Structure formats: C-alpha cells, structure tokens
Structure 1
C-alpha cells in the first residue's frame, strides 16, 4: 500500500513539473537555474514526463501486488498457552537451527512425556508467526491418519479433488507459493512410518518441519533437541505466578516432589486453583499421596490429560512388543528416583526370568524403556522420572505390588555388600544401592520377604553408622528389630539387630542405653552360636567399649581381650575385624590410664586398616585421631601431624559441620 501511495505522489510531482513547463511555454519570464531548460524547450519536457507519469502510475499497483506478503495462514494450530514459562534459550536454538539451512529443514524435539514438547513447538509457531506465510499442526501419533489430515490441509490451500496417494506431494507443491512455511508433526513415533509425510529433496524448499516425539531414534533423519524437565527456577516461577499465596519456598518443595515435570506443575496449579487449596495443604497431600494426586487436577487447554495416564499408550505398546520391559518398568517403579544399577537385575536373573541372563534380550529390554522415553539409560544404570514411577505404581494391583517387592528385596539382598566393615569396596556400592534399599523397605513388608527386609534394614543401618548418619541408622535398625522379634526362630538375627543398636547408642553418647542392648545380644548369641563365633567377639568388644564409657574399665578388659582372641583364630591376626577388637582393648587401657600399653595396640590396628582400606577411609581417620590423643598424653610431638591427617579425613568424608569433624579439628587446635 505504501509503495502504491509513493508512486502516486511521484506521478503528481511529475505532473506538477509538467504544469510548470506548460506555464513556461505560455510566455512566463525567464527562470534561473535548472528550470531554464523548461522555459527554452517546454514541449520536449512535456513529451517526456507525461508518458513517464502514466507508466509509473500503472506499474505501481502491479509492483505492490507482487511484493505484499500474504497474511500468515494457520491450519489446526492449537491456542497459545498464555502461561507458557521459560524455555527462551531452547526457542532461540530451535529458530537458529531451522534457519541455518536454505532447503527444507527438519528438527526433532525429543523428551519424556509431559516435558512440554508440544507446548514448545506451539509457542515457537506463535513467537515466530510473522516469519511464516503458512503454519500447520498435524497430529502424528497415528501415522495412518496423517494422510487424511493432509487432505483437509489441501482443501485449506485451495486444492480440490486430489487423490489420497497424491495429496502429500501436491500440498508441498502448493506450499511453494507460501514460502516460508512451517509444519509441526506432533507426537511422532519412529521416523519410518512418517517418511511419506515429510518433505524430501527439492519438493518444497524454504520450509521448516518440527517433529515432537518420545522416541529416541530420530538422529539419523533430522537434527535433535533433547528437551529436559524445567530448571528449578522455571518451576518455581510457574507456580508462584499461577497460584495465589504461593511462596518460593513451598513452590520449591512442590517442584521437588513433582520432579520439575512441566505437565505435573501445570496440573498442580490447576488443582489448587479449582479447589482453592492452600499451597501448604497441597504439598502435604502430594508428599503423603503422590500416586493419588497425579490423577487430580485438569489443564484448561487439555482437560483429558493427567500425569497418571500420560504413559499408558507406551506401556500398552510394550506389553505387546516387549513384555519383559514392562516387568522391568514395574520393578523400577518401586525403587528410588535415583540411578538404578543394571547389575541389580543381571546379578539376580530370576527377577526377570530369562531376559537378564541373555545379553541380547537384556539389551533390548532395557533399550525399549529408553527408546520410548520412559527411562534414561546410562552406561550401567537406568533412571526413571519420579512421576513415571508413581504412575506405574498406581497401576499395580496390591498382589502385583507385593510380588514385585518380594523380588526386589531378594535382588537387593544379593546385590548389597554384607561385610560392610571388612570389604574395602562396600562403601561405593552401598552409596549406589542405599536409596533403593530405603525405598523398597519403607513400608511394612509382605510376609514372604519379612526376614529379607529385616536384614536389609540392619545392613543399611550398619552402613549409615559407618558414615556417621546416626539418626537414620537408629530408625532403620529399630524397624529391623521389630520385624525380627515378630518372627519365629530369629534369635541370632535379633542379636545382630541389638548389637547394631548398641553401636548406634554408644556413638550417640548414650552408653546407658547401649549397655542392656549389648548384654542381651551377648546372651542370645552365646545361647545359639558356637563359643568361638566371631559374632560373640563383636558383642564382647562392643560391650567392653560401652562399659568403658560408663567407667567400668576393669570389667571391660577381659571382655576386650577375649574378643581379640576369638577373631584372631577365626580370621587371622591381620584381618580388619581384629583391628576393631584391638581398638576396643586399647580404649580400655586408655581409660585405665595405661597409655603406653595402648599405643602398640592402636599402631597395630592402624597398620591393619592401612593395608585394607583406602588412605582417606573413615576407619583410618578414627584410628589416627585416637593415636594422636594417646601420644599427646605421652608428650610425643608426632601427635599433631596424626591429628591433622585424621581431621582432614573427617572433613572429606563427613563434611565440615559434622560433629565428628568438629571434634577432630578441636583436637588439632589443642595440639598446636
């Protein structure tokens, strides 16, 4: 329009100059400057300017018609999400990658269901709508229905009576007149079934294609952007903006429970808005009843979509194609939302029948979960989003859930190190498996695995005791004891529970509680185990150290000496278990004031531990600190160096604020 107006104005100016020439031809006085030519040759000027003016006026609208862009045309584009949050960097990346080539550009947005792939594609379309002349949205979940959508799209473009086998190339041909264009194929599966619907070669250059998918094998067909869950900042921003009265602190905790999944956050906001639920009350419901809450709350633009049913189609597909993958999914759903070591299942092949025993079958079983976006596969682990787990758990009948727990208890009991004190590799293995042990044992166990659950709880408690987490260790061991006491024929196991509890109370500086536990453990084990059993040695050493804390040093000494004798016979003189007995005996001598006798016992214990554990192991740190204290009493100048080494180990393994670390550095300061 503006070009037409400018041309018209130019034409009028030409006519105006022509009128001047006409006046000059009528005998006006001489004009100075360039217009003097008009006075001398007026008819020549008129003969030149009049045709030029007419041509300019005739061509201007034609040029304007050719250059004016058509208004953007949209086909089935969903409404824009007015609450769209974040993703600015990803949207810029999408734009950059689509515009980096001149031909038809394809880009795949891949990610977990509910992560916001469709919302991202739709937001991109609206944000850059002015850059396109045609935008279409195609539901690609069922490839067989794509052609029928192209028939409708063809009519939208003015194409009629096009056969179904020709409609797709005809549409892309028609799009040549509406370049640049954008087509979004939403929720595509494998690239093969969609190949016929995607542009190829020179069929339709200067167009863009976005495919959203949960399936991960598109890298050979297009560029791929892996869309992850929200950052915590984006999650908090969405909740604070959507929910009145929401604080950043509560939003952070809700986001943690929902794993920052955008759909879960939108659903939570919808639930609170509809029910007028206070954020703190919603958080309490979410924490205690996650599996129920993921079925509550609707989205205004997608009323039938909830987290609880989000992955049902993928699971039904797996039931047909990879039933063992569904079994694996159910097993993983009862574990923690942490990396799951795959050897948890390969070490117990009965858990998955034949799948884990056959390398190819196992690889395709694990790959099926990763391929459909239900899990993320690491080098030797599998990670499921916490809401995928919750949705899967919610679909399990009670009987199936109980059977799954039994299988997992037995697999975990096979996988965890039992010799937590003597196995130098126990700690890293336990660090990986502890979250899963706690997840599987958190509820009352099925009768079929009650005994296994008690053992797992006690072993987890022993590991936590080793790393200094006394409060959690105490609660787990108390549960183990309660389960064992409810079963018959568990005297030896009850003794192990009791002695572990005695250790915990001793380290919590409540020796008065530790003593009766250790005494009862010793009585039980002496009644049901051989007299030279190492378990009895552990009871003796624990009771000896407890009596020392209570000031009964003379009574403690024969107990500690007997413990050393039993373990030296059972394990040999250089075994790590002997080192614990030696420390118990050394502590007795320290309390008796016989520091000179304690030093060689401590030194021997240190040599044993340095031969079996890593240099920064906690057990070495404890011995170093004990030796530093004793040597300081004997005025030995090497005490300060030993204390510094021990304190550094405490700091590395337990952290700066742990009470044991603070005690260690207090000793360092005293020895300066």
Structure 2
C-alpha cells in the first residue's frame, strides 16, 4: 500500500512541476478544471504534497525489509560433515514425513550405533536450514541433563531468569515467535525418559522434532525411520572418494569386512589417510586382525569415537539390568554374522548357562539385545552386525572367551544332524548352522573341546561334499584330521577323517591323492573295528570308486560287492546307505562297459532314495542323472526325461550357476 502511495505522490509532484513549466512557457491566464487551482496556489499544493511523498517513500522500504526472511538461529548445531555421503532417499523421506504431519511433528531415527543417525539429522538440518527460523541440537543421552540445556536454550531465545523446572515449557512458549523451528534430540533412550522434554498438545505448534536413538519402543510416541547400514554403492563412493588410489574391487572387499557400517568406513578412511596405508595393506590387516583394527583410526569431527568402544555403554547397562543378556551377547559374538537360530540356545540351556528354559526370562533376555539395538531379532533368529561381534570379542577376557567357545562347541554338536546321509532333514538344518560351525571351529580349539571340534569339522565337510562344495570342505577336513591325529588314541576318528578327505579329493578330480587316504582309512578301521562294521563298508565303497577312476576295475568290483553285503546285513536291504553301495557297484560295471548290469543296480538305488528322501532331495537328483547317462548308452529314449528331472532338482537345491547344475543341464542338451 505504502509503495503505491509513494508512487502516486511522486507522480503528482512531477505533474505539478510540469504544469508550472507549461504555464511559464505558454503564458496562459487560466488552466482547465482543477489544474487552475495549481496555477493560482502553487505553493499551497507543494507544501501539501511534500509530507505525503516523504511518508510514502520512508514507509515503502520498511515494509519491503519486513518481507525479507530472518536468518535462522542455531543452538549447538554441530559443524556440517563435509564428507557426508549418500542417504539422499533417507533425507527425502525425513523431510516428507515431517512436513506431512500437523502441529508438532515428532520423528525418531532408529538404528544400530555407528549407522549414521546423528549425521543424518545434522545433514537434514543444514540441507533445510532455510526452511526454519530456529534450529537446536540437544544431547539426550543423559535425560537428567536435558533440562539444563533448555535453560541455556532459553537464554538464546532471550528468556531471562528461567530455572530448570520452568525452562522446557518456557522455551516451547518462546518458540511460538520462531516458527517454524526444529529441535534434534540426539541419542535418546526410551520415550519415557524424554517425555518431560518433548512438546505435547498445541504447545509451540508448527515445529519439528527429530530423535536419534538406538533403542526400540518409539512407535507409540513418534513416527519411526529405521536407518540401515550403507548400501554397497554408498560404501564404495565414500572409500573411493576419500582414499586416493582405492580401486572398486578393494573398496568392495573393505566394505564387506566392515559390514558397510558408515562409522567404520569413515574410521578406515581416516586410518589410511593418516598412516598413508595402501588400501590393499589395510584390507589385509582387516582380514587378519579385525578385532584390533576396529580400535584404530579416528574421525576428523569426532576424534573420541571408534568402533571398538561404540557399544560399551549399552553393554555396561546390560551388565546392570540384564546380566544374562550379556552372556547371550558373548555367545553370539563368537558365531558368524549370519542369522543365529534361537533354538540353538533353547535346545541346550544347561550347556550354555542361559535362562532359555524359562520362556519369560528367555524372551526378556533376547529382547534386551534387540531393544538396545545390539541385535536384530527375527521370528526365530538373532542377527548381530559383524563389528558388534568383533567389539564384544575384543572386550571378552580370555577365560570367558574360552569357556564360551567350549559351551558353544558342545551345543552345536548337539544341534547339527550327524547322520547327514540318512537324515532327510539334515540339509536345511546344516545350511543354517554351517556358517556358525565354521566360525567357531576354524581357530585353534581349546583343549576342553578339541575332540568335539574335530567332529564338527568333519561333519561340515561331509555336508559340503553332499552339496558339491568340495573346495570349501577340503581345509575343514584337513583341520579335523590334524586335530584328531594330535590327540592320540582316536584311530577310528582318524579313519573317518581320512575317508572323508579321500572323497573330497576324488570329487575334485584327484584320485591319485585320494587312494592312499582311503587305503589308510580302511587299514585303521580293520585294526580297530569289527569286520562287519558299516564304517568299513564306507571305506570299501569309497576305495572302489577311486580305483575305477584309476582304471583298476578288477580290484574295485570285489570291494564294492563286499561293502554292499556289509550294509545290507547291518541296515537291511532298503536303507539309504545301501543305495550308496549300489551306486558304487554300478559305477564299476559302467566303467567296465557293462551297462545292462548297472541299470537294475541304479534303479534299486533310486527306489530306495525315493522312499527315504523328499522328492527334490539332491541324492535323488544325482542318481537320476547317473541313470540317464547309463540308459543313453543303451539308446533308451527315457534318458532325457530322467536327466531333465535330475537337472531341475539340482537347479532347485544348488542354484543355476553351481557347476554340478551346469553339468546337469549340459547333459540334458546332449541327450535331446
């Protein structure tokens, strides 16, 4: 309005001066209409217009200045992270959720320690700083200190003489004149501990609250965003940008070792930058000394924070409130960073010395780990981040660690199926427990559980043979053999290790290495077991198949026939172990070119397996493919259907890219 008035008055002044000039130039004695008043009384008009012009010209800039937004005021907002990486989707979601709520919007950013919750909240504040008139950052880790920070906040808002009891409501009242505003409560615990500090009702409307927290339970008080670790692309972006000379391949492996945890990646970049460590060398240190490396390196903007100490406060709290949860955490820290079946613990509560027998005590024990963000709880499993595990392991006294390893070894041995060949449910159970067996058993075992460790390693090798992963099985079985040989007095167990190792070398295409192992196993078992022991049948069948590969078919046949007689006598004619002997004997006849004799042996083996295993069991797939090859030599047109069925089983169980699956589909193509 004032701008319009000023323009109008200025126009009149111009008209007035112009009129006087026109009058002087024309010499007229009278002007038309009201302009004649200007001619007769020019100075009266001028004196009237000058105040109006000055008033309009003075008010217009003031009104314009009032429309320029005030610079936002910040309180204790940390410096912006110049190396902030990724999180674009999370930032957009944060903004969308906050702006979609009415009155006061409260949003909790929940996640594992080190995942970047605080960095996300601070980056949000800077990215959208122009949208707010007041932004405050409050340390909420110690709830009893929050009120004192609000006293300081009140002073920032110009509120005088405010004590701790008055500070919080006075601040929110003062924020009415600072709308819209943002307050970040960093590292909050349970909602109840911050209820006194969070706005409620219509108090200071048109504001946003962000709470960063590791603790579950905020969904009843706020909208929740669960922040996960970096995507691998974000991890690579950070490492390649921060560490000169880092290739994508090495960065990918470093990110894998660090579980894509943002804090750990920042720490790694800081370590390599300060020490001028080559990325390949840093990767080697991570691989061999992870528990030491998580304490090395520092962040430029948070020099006191390292992964090694990141979760200490949570663990100390557990020690006071839920000591059984600490015992569970220590057990989980020694296992693989894969889902850990909870029935591993409930099946052996006495062995593991945890309260798994009491459903309520067990639920609160597991819930304490999930509630503090130390583990992710599934319907029947717990999952710990690999760096949480490493930090817990690093803090465990050696005696505690040894005791936990012994207990876990015995619990795992009780949990895994030991008759891998005959148990139809062995495969799924072994698939979920195998990573934990490997994680626990590959280090030098404590003397108290050395024998159990050797058994676990050999059983894991037998399972890996079944699924065709012999290259993974080889070092495990070699360790089992080394442990059993070092203990002494374990001739039978050494024989089991030897025959398993022979089977691995046979399947790896090295029958010349397999033969002496199988012969030694047979010799040991002949010396310490009865002649009709099924263990000897396994040795005989294994050696027979190896001899066939070495073109010694004449020597192989009596061994396979003897193995079949032993197992038929021990188990009966329809046992799964008999099917293995039948396949071994059929292999001898196939290598001799006697396909007609091999067919009924294979057909009998198939019937036994179809009666013993699920329709898509690998052992059925293997015998179907064997039968297809033999029938093809006999020009039987059913061979292709058998091969196709066998290949589909391997595809389902092993995946399309597994070498055995590829061989199976190649066979199907040849038989068409």
Alignment TM class, shorter chain as reference: over 0.9
1:544 to 1:153, Cα distance in 2 relative to 1, 3 A: same
Size of the aligned set, in residue pairs, is 666
CA-CA distance at 1:323 after TM superposition: 0.6
1:16 and 2:14 equivalent?
A: yes
Partner of 1:157: 157
Answer yes or no: is the 8 Å Cα contact 1:495–1:522 preserved in 2.
yes
Residue 440 of structure 1: how far off its partner (Å) = 0.4
SS where residue 623 of structure 1 aligns? helix
Q: Aligned pair in 2 of structure 1 residues 25, 649: CA closer, same or farther (>3 Å)?
A: same
Q: Which moved more, 1:464-473 or 1:519-528?
A: 519-528
Following superposition of structure 1 onto structure 2, how do residues 2-151 of structure 1 map, counting pairs within 5 Å? 11-20=9-18, 39=35, 53=53, 56-57=56-57, 59-60=59-60, 63-64=63-64, 66-151=66-151
For the 8 Å contact 1:137–1:184, the answer to whether it is kept is: yes
Aligned to 2:508: 508
Question: Following TM superposition, by how much is the alpha carbon of 1:525 offset from its aligned partner in structure 2, in angstroms?
Answer: 2.0
Cα pair 1:21 1:45 within 8 Å, conserved: no
The CA deviation at 1:36 is 7.1
Structure 2: distance between partners of 1:650 and 1:219: 45
Q: Does the CA-based 8 Å contact 1:628-1:639 persist in structure 2?
A: yes
Q: Please name the residue that 2:372 is paired with.
A: 372
Q: What is the Cα-based RMSD across aligned positions, in Å?
A: 2.4
> Contact conserved, 2:3 with 2:56, CA < 8 A, in 1?
no
- TM-superposed CA distance for 1:54, in Å, is 5.7
Q: In the alignment, is residue 635 of structure 1 matched against residue 635 of structure 2?
A: yes
- Shift, 1:420, TM fit: 1.0
Task: Give the direction of change, closer, same or farther, for the CA distance of 1:21–1:582 in structure 2 (3 Å limit).
Answer: same
Distance 1:6 1:244 in 2: 61
| More moved, 417-426 vs 502-511 | 502-511
Is the 8 Å Cα contact of residues 147 and 167 (structure 1) preserved in structure 2? yes
Please identify, of 234-243 and 538-547, the stretch whose mean Cα deviation from structure 2 is larger. Answer: 538-547
Deviations 1:559-590 (A, max 9, x none): 22222222223222222111111111222222
Deviation at 1:243, TM superposition (A): 1.2
Correspondence 1:525 to 2:525: yes
Are positions 1:598 and 2:598 aligned together? yes
Offset of residue 334 of structure 1: 1.0
| Residue number in structure 1 paired with 2:268 | 268
Q: What is the CA distance between 1:50 and its match in structure 2?
A: 6.7
Instruction: Name the SS for the 2:536 alignment partner.
Output: helix
Give 1:276 shift.
Answer: 1.1
Q: Which residue of 2 aligns with 1:381?
A: 381
- Does 2:185 correspond to 1:189? no
Say which is worse superposed, 540-549 or 267-276, in terms of deviation.
540-549
The 5-angstrom pairing of residues 542-553 of structure 1 reads: 542-553=542-553
Task: Give the TM-score normalised by structure 2.
Answer: 0.94
CA 624–139 in structure 1, closer or farther in 2 if over 3 Å, else same = same
Give ranges in structure 2 of 5+ residues lacking alignment: none
1:198-222 Cα offsets, whole Å, 9 max, x none, are: 1111111011111100001101000
Match of 2:240 in 1: 240
Distance in 1, Cα, partners of 2:35 & 2:597: 130
CA distance in 2, matches of 1:16, 1:355: 95
Partner-residue secondary structure (3-state), 1:187 = strand
Match of 2:439 in 1: 439
2-side partners of 1:10 and 1:410: how far apart?
A: 96
Partner of 2:558: 558
Please list, as runs of the form range in 1=range in 2, the aligned pairs for 1:268-417 lying within 5 A after superposition. 268-417=268-417
More displaced 10-residue stretch of structure 1: 317-326 or 95-104: 95-104
Give 3-state SS (helix, strand or coil) of 2:264's partner: helix
Contact 1:11 1:54 in 2 (8 A): no
Q: Secondary structure at the residue paired with 1:109?
A: strand
Q: Kindly indicate whether the alpha-carbon contact (under 8 Å) linking 2:327 and 2:354 is maintained by their aligned counterparts in 1.
A: no
Maintained 8 Å contact 1:18/1:49: no
Q: Classify 1:483/1:433 alpha carbon distance in 2 versus 1 (closer, same or farther; 3 Å).
A: same
1:448 maps to what in 2? 448
1:422, distance to aligned residue in structure 2 (A): 1.2
Deviation at 1:611, TM superposition (A): 2.0
Task: List per-residue Cα deviations over 1:94-152 (Å, max 9, x = no partner).
Answer: 11111112311111111111111111111111111111111111000000000111111
Secondary structure of 2:209's match?
strand
Per-residue deviation, residues 363-401 of structure 1 (Å, max 9, x unmatched) = 111111111111111111111111111111111122221
Give secondary structure in 2 for the equivalent of 1:185.
Answer: strand
TM-superposed CA distance for 1:51, in Å, is 7.2
Aligned to 1:167: 167
Conserved 8 A contact 2:324-2:354: no
User: TM-score w.r.t. structure 1 length?
Assistant: 0.94
Any unmatched runs of 5+ in structure 1?
none
Structure 2 vs 1, CA of residues 36 and 262 (structure 1 numbering), >3 Å: closer, same or farther? farther
- Point out the more displaced range, 113-122 or 92-101: 92-101
Aligned-pair distance for 1:346? 0.8
- Counterpart-to-counterpart distance in 2, 1:250 and 1:10: 73
Give the match's secondary structure for 2:164. Answer: coil
